[in-house]
Amino acid sequence: MPKRNKKNSDSAKKQPVNKKSLRENVLAVFRASPTDTFNYKQISSRLEIKDHPLKKMITDILYDLKTEGVLEEIQTGKFKQKTEAFYVTGIVDLTSHGYGFVQSKEHPDDVFVSMKNLNHALHGDKVKVYLFAQRKKARPEGEVVEILERARNTFVGTIEISKNFAFLIPTTNKVPFDIFIPLKSLNGAQNGQKAVVKIAEWQPGTKNPIGEVVEVLGFSGKHETEMHAILAEFELPNKFAKEIDDAASVLSEIISAEEYKRRRDFRDITTFTIDPTDAKDFDDALSIRKLENGNWEIGVHIADVSHYVKPDSVLDNEALARATSVYLVDRVVPMLPERLSNHICSLRPNEEKLCYSAVFEMNNNAELFNQWFGHTIIFSNRRFTYQEAQNVIDTGEGDLKDEVLTLHHLAQTLRKERFKKGAIGFEREEVRFEIDATGKPLRVFSKEFGESNQLIEEFMLLANKKVAEFCTGLLSTPSPTRVGKGKTSVYRIHDKPNMEKLQTFATFISKFGYNLQTTSAKKISESLNDLIDKVKGKNEQNLIETLALRSMAKAVYSTENIGHYGLAFKHYTHFTSPIRRYPDLLVHRLLDYYLEGGTPPNRDHYEAMCKKSSDMEKRAADAERASIKYKQVEFMSDKIGQVFDGVISGVTDWGFFVELIENKCEGLVAMRELTDDFYEFDVDNYCISGRRKGKKYQLGDAVKVEVYRANLPKKQLDFRLISIPKQSGADK
């Protein structure tokens, strides 16, 4: 059994007492009994203090706390805790050092909570915190007095077994303790295996919780084990339950005669898809034909998932629970069973498929004249990869060249107009891996984003924008009954940037010789786009783009529309990927409802699903990043001792991170490895500086590093500094 913390009142009484520690003890008495009154004698008794000078100090402390507004004097010498504004509720953000911060809407600043005052609260938990009396300019500090809602009670890690007991060593550094496991609760787990453990008991006063193994994932270091461990770490599924697969298996792919009759027929119009090379779930296609008046009819055809997945069905409930497909380095964990995502709903070439479509009439200048939304049936003539479509754009030759080139021209016109109105062009490089049959990474490379990607992007953006406008009630379109004027809708929103963060970012990039105008929303977007163009190909490109993104708000789903700042759209939604995103499926249903003239449904119901979808999207993104980090460390594990060029990509009080230029892998140069001076973290200037010699290691500096250590279980790379070829930061 883990050792419990023992109190020894005798030894405690022998410890020297200062006013600061005595003050905390006095406050603890009032916190334990917030409605009771105490005088100095009662406080002394509670604290087992008999020494007269200490009793005198208690009296002084009581009157100090009264002056500070922490206590009120009910009668002469009798005090009571003031009740207002002493408690806040919020979410725990636990650090790897064991202490945490509580983020609360009830307090302007994050509340610091020491390890001893967390009282078993864990990362992500919703808690009630008692606020300690705050001195002027001091950070707010408090103690967790109640855990209102656990973020999770299962944890992933490696099993360590001794003769009489076992522990789970958690994978994440957000859990600063091991979980004790009685041998009878191992449920077949072996030493060195990865497992999922559920906390069964956690007695007050004990450091380690007691748990039981609920799932064995396999031996550490095996590719399948590690990918499943990442999914489990973020509480994401790795397979469908039998009842879900059974529900999908009974769905018919045969299109009925009635379905043909009620749908607009696009089977004779040239239609094709453009997707990544390894894609299997084709959820969007484009059609194009020239109209008699010389304009173009462009069809944006989206897999009609809502035809197969009905509200509140087994499949729908599972899709909502997942909310999104998850993309790891080697696999897709789909939102819908494979029979739906890769077969029935996927817009595969040379097959008739049911779609929900947005159809636009536009001229050669991409000016829009008409739009139509409704159910269709299509026949895809060709499946392009992005590279194949790019070759057509580059050479002007290839399959469906006239159609591809026309759509390319229209897309670039739409794109130019969008940027003119203030859109921001963030197109970050995406890290990809070439892996062998065992999952070993053979090569790391960056995914290119070319004009063929832009072709698809612009028409998807157009469809999403126009569907959002219609559901808001800004557009009308023919329908079997009448035009619906919807108010409740699902929006993809992106708030304006935080000006304080933006100013900090502007100050930082000025050290590189770049400028950012922040006087207006238009100036911000224009100068950000100019900055993105200027840093392309530079060592600091990835760093500056990353920091720029961090200064922006995060896009989320909501029924409250505030517009999409990054796209410069007043109304925007997600309509184009219902195979892999649940909000798109909601939008299909709402669009159906409003096309039939329905009145707005309950907003709260949809808001709850928006929040769920946003939360799951973040969780899936975190899992993807974890899988990339794992494969990067694995890729570098046989390169110990090799030297690489890199750029300082992050600075902390324990060292600085370096991103290697060749393969984008990132590792840490620990502060303890810098032995030529005493170095300190300068948070305002994003650097570490030597106290005696003044040498600086600044964000963006080019460096040479040696690969020193690769810790796969922790997904950590350690580097040793070899040299600084040049300064690309403030001294440039």
Domains of the chain: 12-81 (1.10.10.10), 87-149 (2.40.50.140), 154-220 (2.40.50.700), 244-467+577-599+612-623 (no CATH), 499-550 (no CATH), 637-726 (2.40.50.140)
Alpha-carbon distances, residue 274 vs 279, 379, 389 (angstroms): 10, 14, 7
Tokens coding 454: 């832009």
Per-residue model confidence as pLDDT tens digits over 101-128: 998 877 778 899 998 889 999 999 999 9
Checking if the pLDDT of 641 tops 50, the result is yes
Query: Is 391:279 a contact under the CB 8 Å cutoff?
Result: no
Band (361; pLDDT cuts 50, 70, 90)? very high
Q: Please give the residue that has the higher pLDDT: either 274 or 679.
A: 274
Q: Would you place residue 516 in the very low, low, confident or very high pLDDT band (cuts 50, 70, 90)?
A: confident
In this prediction, residue 84 carries a pLDDT of: 55
Give tens-digit pLDDT for 499-514: 888 888 888 888 778 8
Give the pLDDT score at 136: 57
Contact 119, 92 (CB under 8 A): no
pLDDT, position 724: 67
Average confidence (pLDDT) over 614-630: 95
Phi, psi (5° rounding) for residue 44?
Answer: -60, -40
- In this predicted model, which residue has the larger pLDDT, 352 or 22? 352
- d(Cα 656, Cα 699) in Å, to the nearest integer? 8
Q: How confident is the model at residue 13 (pLDDT cuts 50, 70, 90)?
A: very low
pLDDT of residue 1: 43
Which residue type does 625 have?
R
Pick the more confident residue, 699 or 363. 363
> What is the reported pLDDT for 522?
78
Q: In the numeric block, which tokens belong to residue 672? A: 């303890």
Question: What Rg value do the Cα atoms of the chain yield, rounded?
Answer: 30
The SS3 of residue 150 is coil
Measure the N-to-C terminal CA separation of the chain; round to a whole number of Å: 58
In the structure encoding, which two tokens stand for residue 188, read together? Answer: 């077949």
SS3 call for 424: coil
Retrieve residue 157's tokens: 């890690």
Average pLDDT over residues 366-374: 97
- DSSP states of 644-711 as a string? EEEEEEEEETTEEEEEETTT--EEEEEGGG--SS-EEEETTTTEEEETTT--EEETT-EEEEEEEEEE
247/578 Cα distance (integer angstroms): 18
Q: Give the pLDDT confidence of 443-493 residue by residue, as tens digits.
A: 988 887 899 999 999 999 999 999 999 998 865 544 433 333 447 899 999
Kindly list the distances between the CA atom of residue 437 and the CA atoms of 224, 632, 647, in Å, as whole numbers in the listed order: 11, 17, 32
* C-alpha separations of 196 from 122, 147, 366, 677 in Å: 17, 23, 54, 44
pLDDT surpasses 70 at 17: no
Please state, in angstroms and rounded to a whole number, the distance separating the CA atoms of residues 452 and 127.
Answer: 48
d(CA 202, CA 175): 14
* pLDDT reading at 14 higher than 50: no
Confidence of residue 584 (pLDDT cuts 50, 70, 90): very high
Checking if the pLDDT of 231 tops 90, the result is yes
Partnered with residue 612 across adjacent β-strands are none
pLDDT digits (tens, 9 = 90+) for 431-449: 889 999 888 999 988 887 8
Residue 225: strand, helix, or coil: helix
Do 480 and 596 touch, CB atoms closer than 8 A? yes
pLDDT at 212: 96
Task: Grade residue 327 by pLDDT with cuts at 50, 70 and 90.
Answer: very high
Q: Output DSSP code: residue 613.
A: H
More reliable by pLDDT, 84 or 215: 215
- Range name among 16-25, 193-202, 636-645 with the lowest pLDDT average: 16-25
* Separation of CA 588 from chain center: 25
- Least confident segment among 61-70, 365-374, 557-566: 61-70
Q: What is the pLDDT of residue 654?
A: 86
Mean pLDDT of the chain: 88
Report how far residue 316's alpha carbon sits from residue 320's, in angstroms, rounded to the nearest whole number.
Answer: 6
Residue 87 tokens read as 């408690």
Cα four-point dihedral sign 583, 589, 594, 600? negative
pLDDT at 725: 52
Mean per-residue pLDDT, 150-157:
92
**Span 676-686, average pLDDT:** 82
* Confidence tier at 582 by pLDDT (50, 70, 90): very high
User: Sorting pLDDT into bands at 50, 70 and 90, what band is 12?
Assistant: very low
| Lowest mean pLDDT, pick from 78-82, 593-597, 663-667, 718-722 | 78-82
Q: DSSP letters of 556-597?
A: EEESS---BTTTTBSS----S-TTTBHHHHHHHHHHHHHHTT
DSSP character for 623?
H
Q: Region 620-627: what's the mean pLDDT?
A: 95
Residue 405 burial (CB count, 10 A): 16
Mean pLDDT of 612-639: 95
3-state secondary structure of 136: coil
H/E element holding 500? helix 499-510
What is the model's pLDDT at position 731?
A: 43
SS3 state of residue 191: coil
Question: Distances from the Cα of 282 to the Cαs of 304, 430, 538, 704, in angstroms?
Answer: 12, 20, 35, 43
Residue 728 pLDDT exceeds 50: no
Reply yes or no on whether the pLDDT at 220 is more than 50: yes
Instruction: Kindly report, residue by residue over 377-436, the tens digit of the pLDDT.
Output: 999 999 999 999 999 999 999 999 999 999 999 999 999 999 999 898 877 678 889 999
- Residue 490 to residue 611: CA distance in whole angstroms: 11
pLDDT band for 340, please (50, 70, 90 cuts): very high
